[in-house]
Amino acid sequence: MECTSTRLSPESSLVKHVAVAESSERERELEREIAKLKRINAALIERVEASNLPRSGPYAAFEHSVLLAEQVRERTQALNQTTHELRASNRLLAEARERAETAGQHLVDAIESITDAFVLFDADQRIQRFNSRFAEFWRPAGIRIRQGMRLEDLRRLALSSGLVISEQLGRRDGRTVYRLHDNRWVQVHQRPTRGGGRVILYVDITALKRHEHAQREHALAQKTRLLQATVDSLSQGVAVITASGMLEMCNQRFCALTGLTAFEVAHDLVALSRRSELIDAADARGVTPACERCLADGRVVEVRGHAMPGGGQVLTFTDVTERIRQAETLREREHWIRTITDELPAMIAYLDRDLRYVFTNRVYDEWYGWPRDLILGSELEALHTAEHCTRLRPYLVRALAGESVSFEFPESSYSGEHRVLLRSYVPHHDGEGEVIGLFALIRDITERRRTAEALHQAYQNLEQRVRERTAELTRVNDQLREEIAERTAAERRLREAKAEAEAANLSKTKFLAAVSHDLLQPLNAARLFTGVLCEQEVAPGGRELIDQIGRSLKDVETLLGTLVDISKLDAGVVTPDVGAFTVAELLDGLAREYLQVADCEGLEFRYVPSSAVVRSDIHLLARVVRNFLTNAVRYTAEGRILLGCRRRADGLEILVGDTGMGIESEDLGVIFQEFRRSQAAGKRQDRGLGLGLAIADKVARMLDHPLWVTSVAGRGSLFSILLPYGELAPQSPLVAPAAMSSGDMGLEGKRIWVVDNDADICEAMRLLLTRWGCEVWVADSEMALAEQVALDTASVDALIVDYHLDDGDTGLALAERINARRREPLPVMTITANHSAELKQRMRALGYALLHKPVKPLRLRMALSRLIAARV
């Protein structure tokens, strides 16, 4: 390659030549001016010397010479100034030449630094400059690049030397792409210059071309896989046959029909083309007509061919075994239908919308004396007389309009026998409700008509007898009226007795509901005293005795709660608090509780959670599900218990199933009655009163929730209740209180006020809270508490009050009076046996804690700790 580093650019050479030309012209002008001044000076001197002036004029000559000398000096100074300017111009010219050489070198370096092949052509399309990469581009073809080479010569050499294999012209940008002999790709970019030349840049795009090729190959492979997956998903077998009759492609259904494996299809298509009996059925030279082939395994395959534009065809293979079997079944069924209808005494026929016969039974054919081959497919008017058709046409029109028609029609048979026929026309509708035909049912009612006439005659004879019997019945009717009056009086007395019994029962239930608070008071005190004993250290035998007392108290609490609940339900004092909630809020806690119970009884417990939202009273519903679970544990000796939900269109069904002893079918109707228990021995039979299912039934009726039970004796039972779906109301984002661990229940040093009108409960609360490290003040009234502490200023952490106090006072009223006197309200906890929804809503509105009697010590401690922690 020629070295171009010392050459100047055309622009810098031009600047240099212009500067040199101007300097030479300036020097020549100055030289001419000096020569002119010298000639003038010589002429003046010569003139003075040769002058014939008299000697009296030397001064004038001298003066003249001095003047000439002054002019020479001025001209000499001007010449020196011009010489100085000339030297300055030469210096500037040298600097300009140096800058031009530097710019030229920079241009060379810039051209050489281009990563692609670069070449510059002048206006005559000859090479003026190029970089080393351009020279290397032509070196594999043995072509040496020189300045002055023409562009057309380069193109000719590129094609003749084999360097360029193919040339592509871009459709959008007009750029030319060359494919080289070594499978590389070059893209040519051209730009014209101001002087009419051209700049060409050769960019190597091999990597881009290979990437595009890889993308095309990937897209083609993906489309191939998609096409194969689509073909494999077809229910029909598909095979592509080339024009030479070879199997080129098939799907999995084809392999399944032919018994070929995927390995055989992939590796030996030619052999398969000869082995497959299905492909032998195809004619590769044209479209294969539909044909059926029976395979070795007894299946029947329908083969169809579809010609392809480029030759060959696509074969589809459809397994028609079931269709053929169904057709045989239909033919067999048709045979049985015809056999049955032929044996019926009535005439049966079916006509399409054009009143053509499609079906007739043997009785129909024999009545008219027609051969079956003649009647089927023939029109009604072609087989019957015009008079016969005219009489039937109004009824046929109504039937074709969609109306079922029945009418009596006297007619003579083929043998000439005159009979009365009852014709019934029933329209046949398609899936869109359009009438596509009609069924004709014709019965012989001649004997019935004769019987009707005989009955009419008998009726005439009976009228007289009826008049005679009417007089007799009138006398009997009078006697019946007297008996009815007596029965009405007896019924009135029975209603009065029933009303008295219902009033007595209602009085009883209201009494039990009203005294529930008094019944639970001693039980609550006993539970609290038991909690105090649990907090103390006792002898080893004493701990078991305390646990036994606790279990006995729990049984008493359960039995007493059951009696109170059934009494409240009977008295009608329970008001449901219906609202929307997630069913998981109810079932998750019950599942955790009964998982432990079932585990203690050696039973498997399974729980299927649900996220559905329902609408009900969560507390009453919990009692129903709890009773179901208690019965499941009580009457299941071994096996498992299931708690779960099932979504239905009309609501969510909660189910409790077990593998226990089950219920006899005759007992299913009475298990929801009060005090009805299973006669079979259960593990917990001694602890129940037979009221659990009665309470569940009453609560379900109150909430209007359907309740079901299915059971198989010896295998288990399934109880369920259906709840309506609900929708949760949007709630403001509140910070949920953090769950309190056992380590957070410390009450050491807390000051607690307790007000309860029962002395035993006060003493039990004092002992229990003192054991927990609290400072306790107990009283039976507000006045007694005021005698111990200053209610408006004394420091206290919580106030525990009983809801029912003496003299009609309530714990809520007492707490409100105390908080009204204090600067900051006290945290209040209310303990009560009242389960009413109104009380719960009022407690939530006031922000008070609520516990129901009898109170468990652990629950009391946790609730009290949360109440005090919430204040902080």
- DSSP strand pairing (185-192 vs 176-180): antiparallel
Q: Which distant-in-sequence residues (6+ apart) come within 8 Å of 829 by Cβ?
A: 798, 799, 800, 801, 848, 849, 850, 851, 863, 864, 867
pLDDT at 657: 93
Residues forming a β-bridge with 828: 799
Residue 259: name the closest of 315, 304, 299, 289 by CA. Answer: 299
Angle CA 795–800–806, to nearest 5: 115
Q: CATH code for 115-211?
A: 3.30.450.20
Query: What percent of the chain is predicted at pLDDT more than 90?
Result: 9
pLDDT in tens, 427-474: 988 888 888 898 888 888 888 777 877 777 777 777 777 877 788 888
At residue 74 the predicted structure's pLDDT band, cuts being 50, 70 and 90, is confident
Q: 774 — phi, psi (to 5°)?
A: -90, 155
Helix (H) or strand (E) holding 422: strand 418-429
How much is the average pLDDT of 293-314? 78
Closest to 645 in 3D by CA, of 607, 672, 595: 607
**pLDDT for residue 560 is more than 60:** no
Give me the residue label for tokens 């590796």: 267
Strands 405-412 and 435-444 turn out to be unpaired
| Residue 616 identity (one-letter amino acid) | S
Per CATH, the number for 328-444 is: 3.30.450.20
Could you tell me if 89 and 23 are in contact, meaning their C-beta atoms sit under 8 angstroms apart? yes
CA distance 348 to 342: 9
Q: Which of 244, 238, 315, 239 has its CA nearest to residue 285?
A: 244
**CA–CA separation, 199 and 189 (whole Å):** 8
Highest mean pLDDT (candidates 171-175, 743-747, 762-766): 762-766
Q: How far, in Å, CA of 327 to CA of 322, rounded?
A: 8
Choice between 605 and 220, residue whose per-residue pLDDT is larger: 605
Within a 13 Å sphere around the CA of 470, how many CA atoms are in the beta-carbon half?
6
Residue 221 has pLDDT above 80, yes or no: yes
Domain 328-444 and domain 575-723, same fold? Reply is no
> For the chain, what is the mean pLDDT?
77
Fold of the CATH domain 742-871: Rossmann fold (3.40.50)
pLDDT at residue 306, rounded to an integer: 79
In Å, how far from its chain's centre is CA 640?
Answer: 34
**Nearest Cα to Cα of residue 600 among 626, 627, 634, 631:** 634
Query: What ranges do the domains of the chain cover?
Result: 10-111, 115-211, 236-315, 328-444, 450-514, 575-723, 742-871
For 779-793, give one letter per residue: b (16+ CB within 10 A) or e: bbbbeebeeeeebee
| Alpha carbons 93 and 27: distance in angstroms, whole number | 14
CATH level 2 (architecture), domain 236-315: 2-Layer Sandwich (3.30)
Residue 283 confidence class, pLDDT cut points 50, 70, 90:
very low
pLDDT digits (tens, 9 = 90+) for 648-678: 999 999 999 999 888 887 777 667 765 666 5
Residue 8 neighbours by CB distance under 10 Å: 18
Q: Which CATH architecture has domain 575-723?
A: 2-Layer Sandwich (3.30)
Residues belonging to the chain: 872
- Which of 807, 746, 756, 804 minimizes the C-alpha distance to 778? 756
- What are the pLDDT digits (tens) for 506-553? 665 556 545 555 556 666 566 566 666 666 666 666 656 666 566 556
Whether the upstream peptide bond of residue 854 has omega within 30° of 0, thus cis, is yes
pLDDT tier, 282 (very low <50, low <70, confident <90, very high otherwise): very low
User: What residues does 717 pair with on adjacent strands?
Assistant: 658, 711
Confidence of residue 646 (pLDDT cuts 50, 70, 90): very high
- Sign, CA dihedral 169-172-175-177, equals negative
